[in-house]
Amino acid sequence: TLKEEGIVGYTSPSNIALVKYWGKRENQIPANPSISFTLAACMTKTSVEYKKKIRKDDEFSFDLFFDDQPKEEFKPKIKTFLKRIEKYLPFLKEYHLVIKTSNTFPHSSGIASSASGMSALALCFMEMERTFSAPITDDFFNNKVSFISRLGSGSACRSIEGPLVQWGETSSVEGSSNLFGVKYPYKVHDIFNNFHDTILLVDKGEKQVSSTVGHELMHGHPFASQRFEQAHENLDKLRTILAEGNLNDFIGIVESEALTLHAMMMTSHPYFILMKPNTLSIINEIWKFRQTSNTHVCFTLDAGANVHVLYPENEKDIVFPFIKEKLISFCQNGQYICDRIGLGAKK
Ligand code: PMV
C-alpha cells in the first residue's frame, strides 16, 4: 500500500571500467559486455522526500536541489529518466518528489557523476517501492535497482554492489545479463583487495563530445564488430587473471582497453579526441616508472582526459610518492582524488 509521505536516502559510488562499455542498442542495451571496479570515495548522496499529490494527474512532479541549491539545468535529464522507468515504478507519478543530491567529489571536476548520481536516485525510488510492497529479497532488490539505474545511465548499473561488477551477456560469465549488472561471480585474488585508484584531474572542462554521442557513433563504425568481439575475449581472459592475481596480464588488458576506447573515438565519423597532451605525458611517465620500479602501477581512462592510476595496496609506499612527485604537476590546479575499490551503495 502506498504511504502518504516519507523520505528515503542512499549514497552510491562511481565505478571505473576495466573492460569498457562503448556502444549501445535500444533501451540502453550494451553492444558489448563490461566489468568495473566499484569505487569508494567518489559518491553521490541523494535523498527523496515524497508526498502524495492532492489531485491525481498524469505528470511527473519534482523539485531538484544540488548542494542545497535549486538546479533547473539537471531537470530535463531526470525527467527523461522518470519517463523511462515509469512502467517499472508506476507509483512515481502519484507523488510530488523533492530530490536533494550532492557529490563527495569536487563539483565540475570532470569526473562523470552519472553512474553515482543515477544509481543513487534509482536506489531511492526502489526503496520507496520496497516500503510499499510485499517483502522482496536483497538479490531481487539489487537486480532491479541495477536494471533501473541502467535506464538512467548505462554504466550506473555497475555501481550498486562491489568490489567487481560485470554487465552484459557473455558466455564466460554465468548469470551475466544485458539488463543489469551482477556481482562478479568468480574467485578474485587478494591482491585486488584494497586496490587503489588515484584519479588525476587533467581537464575539468565540459567534454566536447558526450558519451551519449560517443555510443551513437559506434553504429556503422568501421571497427565495431571486432571491438565488440574483443571485449568478450578480454572478459574471458580476465577470469583466470583475476583468480590468479597475475598483475602483468591484468595491466595488459586494462591499458589496452583504455586505449582501445579512445581509438574508437579517434576512428569514428566524425572523429574526436578526448585525451589532452597531459593525459599522454602521464601515460608515458607511468610506463617509464613501471620499467624501472618493479611495480605494477597502470592507468585506465574514462570518456575524458582524466587518468585513473591503478595499483595494489602493497605497492602504495612506492607508487604514491611517484604520483605526487611526477604526475600531479600534469593535473589542472594540481587536483587529484585518492580513491580505492569499494563495496557499493549504502543507506
Ligand atoms: O554510462 P555512460 O553512457 O555514460 O557510458 C560510459 C562509458 C565509459 O565510461 C566510457 C566506459 C564504461 O564502461 O564505464
Mean pLDDT of the chain: 95
The mean per-residue pLDDT over the stretch 257-265 comes to 98
Counting atoms of ligand 1 from 1, which one is nearest the CA of 155?
Answer: 1
Is the confidence at residue 98, as pLDDT, over 70?
A: yes
Interval between CA 212 and ligand 1 midpoint (Å): 9
Rounded to the nearest angstrom, the gap between the alpha carbon of residue 104 and the centroid of all alpha carbons in its chain is 15
Expressed in angstroms and rounded, the spacing between residue 21 Cα and the centre of ligand 1 is 6
Assigned CATH for 1-347: 3.30.230.10
Q: Is the dihedral of CA 320, 160, 68, 82 positive or negative?
A: positive
Domain boundaries, the chain: 1-347
pLDDT exceeds 80 at position 106: no
Nearest atom, ligand 1, residue 19 CA: 13
* Three-state secondary structure string covering the chain: CCCCEEEEEEEEEEEEEEECCCCEEHHHEECCCEEEEEEEEEEEEEEEEEEECCCCCCCCEEEEEECCEECHHHHHHHHHHHHHHCCCCHHHHHEEEEEEEEECCCCCCCCCCHHHHHHHHHHHHHHHHHHHCCCCCHHHHHHHHHHHHHHHCHHHHHCCECCEEEECCCCCCCCCCCCCEEECCCCCCHHHCCCEEEEECCCCCCCCCCHHHHHHCCCCCCCHHHHHHHHHHHHHHHHHHHHHCCHHHHHHHHHHHHHHHHHHHHCCCCCCCCCCHHHHHHHHHHHHHHHHHCCCCEEEECCCCCEEEEECHHHHHHHHHHHHHHHHHHCHHHCEEEEEECCECEC
Q: Residue 108's pLDDT band (boundaries 50, 70, 90)?
A: low
290 pLDDT band (50/70/90 cuts)? Answer: very high
pLDDT-derived band at 204 (thresholds 50, 70, 90) equals: confident
Instruction: Tell me what the mean pLDDT of segment 213-225 comes to.
Output: 97
For ligand 1, what atom is nearest to the CA of residue 22?
7
pLDDT in tens, 30-79: 999 999 999 999 999 999 999 999 988 889 999 999 999 998 988 999 99
pLDDT band, residue 208 (cuts 50/70/90): confident
Residue pair 139/183 in contact by the 8 Å Cβ criterion? no
- ipTM value: 0.98
Q: Where does ligand 1 bind, in terms of residues with CB under 6 Å?
A: 17, 20-22, 34, 114, 153-155, 211, 215, 261, 302-303
> Which of 22, 80, 259, when mutated, tests ligand 1's pocket best, judged by the most ligand atoms within 8 Å of its CB?
22
For residues 195-222, average pLDDT: 91
Range with lowest mean pLDDT among 133-147, 200-214, 247-261: 200-214
CA of 234 to the centre of ligand 1 (A): 17
Please compute the mean of the pLDDT values over residues 238-247 and round it to a whole number.
98
pLDDT more than 90, % of the chain: 90
C-alpha cell at 37: 571496479
Sole residue written with cell 574508437: 264
Question: Ligand 1 centroid vs 56 CA: distance in angstroms?
Answer: 37
Sign of CA dihedral 178, 75, 55, 120: positive
What pLDDT shows up at residue 107?
A: 63
All cell numbers assigned to 158: 555497475
> What's the Cα-to-Cα distance from 292 to each of 56, 248, 283, 331, rounded to whole Å?
68, 15, 15, 23
Which residue out of 16, 18, 20 has the highest number of ligand 1 atoms within 8 Å of its CB and is therefore the one to mutate? 20
Q: Which atom of ligand 1 is nearest to the CA of 114?
A: 4
How large is the average pLDDT for residues 216-233?
98
CB 166 within 8 A of CB 30: no
| Predicted confidence (pLDDT) per residue in 109-127, tens digit | 666 689 999 999 999 999 9
